[in-house]
Chain A
């Protein structure tokens, strides 16, 4: 049970889809995985709409549960707010720069500025409230 759900999340997080069709993926998808600091700069800090940044780790169980939840909440917003997923092991310095200690951490950003952050696993209602504030 545990192993299947793990696999699903992994596939969802996999960068493969982006590598294959980066441009299109970006256009239609409301969620993406951050590749490196430059990517973060381009797609998160310079984003025209607010971005929720999901700092996660592959080894963290609560992260595995949170990511699909926040993905579904963001998907409902139809592009008014985006989701950027940052693997803290691949982008450690980036995570440390945003003072990520224990994961998962969600950060709401607009115009390159941090507006809000929540730490730890959240239920869907809580996530909706968090995202609603930035999708008006």
Chain B
């Protein structure tokens, strides 16, 4: 951001005085003089700005990143407004204030995941002596589940609304677009347009699910925008796409008692450690989720009975078909940047993805910033959007210089058996550092609580990637097992503090937990030794 800001000011000077100047030259006296001149002018500009514009910061998009930035900015004394507007999904689903995570993302997903885990626990509890009536006749009531989930979401919407009011952040339920660099038009629900001006503008509009260009997709398909509030139980479901969303949705649907199939175009969980990703798929398959590999849907038709006939093509170009009640697309998300009329301010987007390649959250238009899912090659995760938004507000209004660190962000795939990781995958570590520079430690393990109900432990697996020599710094940690998110979070902090393998081994575990397995890990892949634990009787 610094560099761009100075670039902007320098070019101002450039324009006025026509004095040639190189960007990266050391500061000469002449430049120092120029700098102080710039400073004066900028201060002057600041004073004007405060009177000229309605707001110090206008945030387009009241989701994770936008709200975090807005709250931090008002705390630092800025005058802030937030526009948030939800365009209905192709199927007509809409929701309230707070963005993707709260309404159609992390929160409902985690609650449905929890519902799935509880179902599992009912079955296990019999082995622990609970006198449950035949667990096989216990069913989940989809309406009761979605009502409970939606009620929670509505309460969060309300709390968000109250918080904005208490913090004196002006909120408008309006769809914003750029008129010029400092002016935003907001279209309200009733069609009326309102004009807002601001010194700084933050783009935090996130994204929406993509649909493939095949017959029937838009008419009959649904997405993660719809599933958490679906009025009717989804029934036999085809999930297309094998990213986070595809696997998580197929996972909880299967556990809730619905026949679920994942259609994989190429590989599962692209970008993740592939050994771990395949283990997750294997575990889901073991639990009853079906996988169709190397296939692409080609057509969806509605039959007379209302069910959906899906056609797909495999890698041999053979066509197949099957009947489903629900087809859910989870093939990635499209940022809502083109809808902002970026051409009106010359805002540059990456042509293929429409994402914004911001430098330190600053776009090529100096007073326009961006955080969250709209950012090019940054993790699409809520805490990333929140942290970046908060730090940006501190730099804009709190004289901070702290930048967002997008490296080593931990994440978890909430598949029925969770997968959490931080740092490099095995493939990435090898590609970056070379195979003989790194050591890969791995282990299978048996969670204590799995023994009595005789739960399958074959996919409880962990992996640590570290430098082989020198300080043996840990480069990546991977965990498949119960509560993976809870397990990996603390290790992410350790990695941020430059955790080394000896330090990890020197850490005394907490017994009996699953997280302690990381402190016991010792078998390297290079050794070829068996990473399976000793067993007593199986």
| Assembled-state Cα–Cα distance A58/B165 (Å) | 21
- B161 interface residue per 8 A CB criterion: yes
A59 touches B152 (CB 8 A): yes
A89 touches B158 (CB 8 A): yes
Number of interface residues of B (CB under 8 A): 12
B155 touches A59 (CB 8 A): yes
- B154 interface residue per 8 A CB criterion: yes
Query: What sequence of 0s and 1s flags, for each residue 154-171 of chain B, a beta carbon within 8 Å of any chain A beta carbon?
Result: 110110011001100000
Q: How far apart are B500's CB and chain A's nearest CB, in angstroms?
A: 47
Total CB contacts across the A-B interface at under 8 A: 26
Contacts of A100 in B (CB 8 A): 162
Contact of B144 among A3, A89, A103 (CB under 8 A): A3
B144 touches A96 (CB 8 A): no
- B151 interface residue per 8 A CB criterion: yes
Contacts of A26 in B (CB 8 A): none
- A66 interface residue per 8 A CB criterion: no
Q: How far apart are B6's CB and chain A's nearest CB, in angstroms?
A: 42
Contact of B161 among A3, A59, A60, A92 (CB under 8 A): A92
| Assembled-state Cα–Cα distance A57/B158 (Å) | 9
Contacts of A101 in B (CB 8 A): 162, 166
Chain A, interface SS category: loop
| Assembled-state Cα–Cα distance A96/B159 (Å) | 11
- B519 interface residue per 8 A CB criterion: no
A96 touches B154 (CB 8 A): no
Nearest residue, chain A, Cβ from B163: A101
Contacts of A82 in B (CB 8 A): none
B154 touches A59 (CB 8 A): yes
B165 touches A96 (CB 8 A): yes
Residues of B112-156 at the interface with A, using a CB-CB cut-off of 8 Å, are 144, 150-152, 154-155
Q: How far apart are B147's CB and chain A's nearest CB, in angstroms?
A: 9
Nearest residue, chain A, Cβ from B154: A59
A57 touches B161 (CB 8 A): no
Contacts of A96 in B (CB 8 A): 161-162, 165
Q: How far apart are A9's CB and chain B's nearest CB, in angstroms?
A: 13
- A107 interface residue per 8 A CB criterion: no
Query: What sequence of 0s and 1s flags, for each residue 50-63 of chain B, a beta carbon within 8 Å of any chain A beta carbon?
Result: 00000000000000
Interface size class of A (residues with CB under 8 A): 10 to 19
| Assembled-state Cα–Cα distance A134/B512 (Å) | 61
| Assembled-state Cα–Cα distance A106/B161 (Å) | 20
Query: What sequence of 0s and 1s flags, for each residue 65-95 of chain A, a beta carbon within 8 Å of any chain B beta carbon?
Result: 0000000000000000000000011001000
| Assembled-state Cα–Cα distance A91/B390 (Å) | 31
A57 touches B154 (CB 8 A): yes
Q: How far apart are A42's CB and chain B's nearest CB, in angstroms?
A: 23
Contacts of B161 in A (CB 8 A): 92, 96
Nearest residue, chain A, Cβ from B164: A96
Q: How far apart are B357's CB and chain A's nearest CB, in angstroms?
A: 37
Q: How far apart are A30's CB and chain B's nearest CB, in angstroms?
A: 28
| Assembled-state Cα–Cα distance A4/B336 (Å) | 42
Nearest residue, chain B, Cβ from A61: B151
Contact of A59 among B144, B150, B166 (CB under 8 A): B150
Contacts of A3 in B (CB 8 A): 144
Q: How far apart are B401's CB and chain A's nearest CB, in angstroms?
A: 36
Contacts of B150 in A (CB 8 A): 59
| Assembled-state Cα–Cα distance A89/B165 (Å) | 15
| Assembled-state Cα–Cα distance A89/B158 (Å) | 8
Q: How far apart are B47's CB and chain A's nearest CB, in angstroms?
A: 33
Contacts of B165 in A (CB 8 A): 96
Contacts of A92 in B (CB 8 A): 158, 161
| Assembled-state Cα–Cα distance A3/B152 (Å) | 16
Contacts of B144 in A (CB 8 A): 3
A59 touches B151 (CB 8 A): yes
A89 touches B162 (CB 8 A): no
| Assembled-state Cα–Cα distance A97/B350 (Å) | 44
Q: How far apart are A80's CB and chain B's nearest CB, in angstroms?
A: 32
Contacts of A103 in B (CB 8 A): 158
Contacts of A59 in B (CB 8 A): 150-152, 154-155
Q: List 6 A-B contacts (CB under 8 A).
A: A57-B158, A59-B151, A59-B155, A89-B157, A92-B161, A103-B158
Question: A59-B151, A101-B166 provided; 18 other pairs, C-beta below 8 A?
Answer: A3-B144, A57-B154, A57-B155, A57-B158, A58-B151, A58-B154, A59-B152, A59-B154, A59-B155, A88-B158, A89-B157, A89-B158, A92-B158, A92-B161, A96-B161, A96-B162, A100-B162, A103-B158
Interface set of B (CB-CB < 8 Å, partner A): 144, 150-152, 154-155, 157-158, 161-162, 165-166
The 4 closest A-B pairs by CB, nearest first: A59-B151, A59-B154, A96-B165, A101-B162
